[in-house]
Amino acid sequence: MNGTDFTQLRAFVTVCDERAFGRAAKRLAMSPSALSRTVRALESRLGVRLLNRTTRSVGLTEAGRVLYDRIQPMMTGMDEAMLAVGAYQETPKGVVRVNLPSIAARIAILPKLARFRSAYPDVHLDLVIDNDITDVVAQGFDAGVRIGGQISRDMVAVRITPDLRMAVVGAPTYFADRRRPETPADLKDHMCLTYKWKSTGALYPWRFSDVDCVIDVDVGNVLTVNDTDLLLEAACEGLGLAYLIEDLVLPFIENGDLLRVLEPWCKVFPGFYLYYSERTHMPASVRAFIDFMKIVSF
């Protein structure tokens, strides 16, 4: 069906519904004469009269009745579909799919979810945990969350956490027969637990800052995993030192499960950002999620 077909059928159904060209023309925002020409063009194309017209009334022919009975439910269905989709632009509702690493879900999103759910009860969040760098557009996500420096420049990014800092931690049992490192260079004498990117096999760098420079340390890895929770658990078990985001390990430091070392060498870096592709017609649910996470972050 092309645009002309649809216009002619819409005009025909509207005339049948209103039983008058004047009222139908007003409903369609066109002149009665233009509406009459449109219906006549449909009749000419089909080669059959669809409407009986008098100066006072409009009635369906037998052929017109057959066409109306078939087309009217379809037109109604399309109208209802358009209204349903339009509601997504006006009222936050439906599913919002977000791709994010587990640590971002824990420290940036989960603490705010109760308030978001209370504010937008008709929005359902689908949080997909993915610790690799994923093309959120190609994979059909509405948004993603990553560290600021890891976001492509063609995406729109909004900050949802303050700056973050890394921490080097180990269990008291690990340090029972070992000296604590005082400089990053001392890490050569320690067992280290390191994050490994699943997609590339690259190791997350152990990066420190001196007064004048940035220091990347090639640590001796006794365990590499692609899950931060497992790294944290391994550190708590005394298997070695872990290099993790400060917000994740602070509760374990406070309760004595972990000890922190090299704190003066760990400087701040850009926090988590919510990012998405620029879109002219963004669903209200996605806009509500972005604005809420941005507003309540600080």
pLDDT for 30-79, tens place per residue? 898 899 899 999 899 889 999 888 767 788 888 888 998 988 888 888 77
Max CA pair span of the chain: 104
Quote the CA–CA distance of 45 and 7 in Å, as a whole number: 13
pLDDT-wise least confident of 134-138, 232-236, 294-298 = 294-298
Is the pLDDT at 108 greater than 80? The verdict is yes
For the 95-149+274-295 domain, the top CATH level (class) is alpha beta
Q: How confident is the model at residue 233 (pLDDT cuts 50, 70, 90)?
A: very high
Please report the pLDDT score of residue 265 as a whole number. 95
| 3-90 carries CATH number 1.10.10.10 | yes
Please report the pLDDT score of residue 85 as a whole number. 60
End-to-end CA distance of the chain: 52
Mean pLDDT of 251-279: 92
Architecture category of domain 164-269 in CATH:
3-Layer(aba) Sandwich (3.40)
Domain ranges of the chain: 3-90, 95-149+274-295, 164-269
Q: How confident is the model at residue 298 (pLDDT cuts 50, 70, 90)?
A: very low
Q: Which residue has the higher pLDDT, 228 or 280?
A: 228
pLDDT digit string, tens, across residues 157-206:
899 999 999 999 999 999 999 999 999 999 999 999 999 988 788 898 99
Q: Do domains 3-90 and 95-149+274-295 have the same CATH topology?
A: no
Query: pLDDT averaged over the chain?
Result: 87
Q: Tell me, what amino acid is at 3?
A: G
Please report the pLDDT score of residue 182 as a whole number. 94
Q: How confident is the model at residue 297 (pLDDT cuts 50, 70, 90)?
A: very low
pLDDT digit string, tens, across residues 213-226:
888 999 988 999 98
SS (H, E, C) the chain: CCHHHHHHHHHHHHHHHHCCHHHHHHHHCCCHHHHHHHHHHHHHHHCCCCEEECCCCEEECHHHHHHHHHHHHHHHHHHHHHHHHHHHHHCCCEEEEEEECHHHHHHHHHHHHHHHHHHCCCEEEEEEECCCCCCCCCCCCCEEEEEHHHCCCCCEEEECCCCEEEEEEECCCHHHHCCCCCCHHHHHHCCEEEEECCCCCCECCEEEECCCCEEEECCCEEEEECCHHHHHHHHHCCCCEEEEEHHHHHHHHHCCCCEEECHHHCCEECCEEEEECCCCCCCHHHHHHHHHHHHCCC
> Are β-strands 164-170 and 214-217 bridged in parallel, bridged antiparallel, or unpaired?
unpaired
Please report the pLDDT score of residue 256 as a whole number. 96
Please report the pLDDT score of residue 82 as a whole number. 66
pLDDT digit string, tens, across residues 86-98:
555 567 888 999 9
Exposed, middle or buried by CB within 10 Å (0-12, 13-18, 19+), for 253? middle
Is the pLDDT at 296 greater than 70? The verdict is no
Q: Which residue has the higher pLDDT, 132 or 180?
A: 180
Please report the pLDDT score of residue 145 as a whole number. 93
Please report the pLDDT score of residue 136 as a whole number. 83
Please report the pLDDT score of residue 295 as a whole number. 55
